[in-house]
Amino acid sequence: MKKYVKYFNASARGLIIPDTQLPKAAAGWGVGYQYVDEKDGEYQVNHTTGTYLVDRVGNRRLVWDYLQLTTNPQRVAQDVQVVLE
């Protein structure tokens, strides 16, 4: 996971939990996912692509979709500033 998330951002963090806990954790964060079998025995995971703004005590404050992050960085910066204050 550590190697995988570095492709997106050097400071990104991935979540690793037991498979039995994944459905509850995903639902709690509003994440959708689906395993897709590949022909060679491998699999890929399709999933939602939200980016979460979490405050200092661990509360989810905002979720941005990919388009919001790429088309309105000023708004994202404002959102982060509000949560930091």
Contact 12, 6 (CB under 8 A): yes
Find out whether 47 is annotated in a ligand binding site: yes
29 CB-side CA count, 13 A: 20
Contact 29, 53 (CB under 8 A): no
Q: Which residues are annotated as a binding site?
A: 47
Q: Which residues are annotated as a binding site for Cu cation?
A: 47
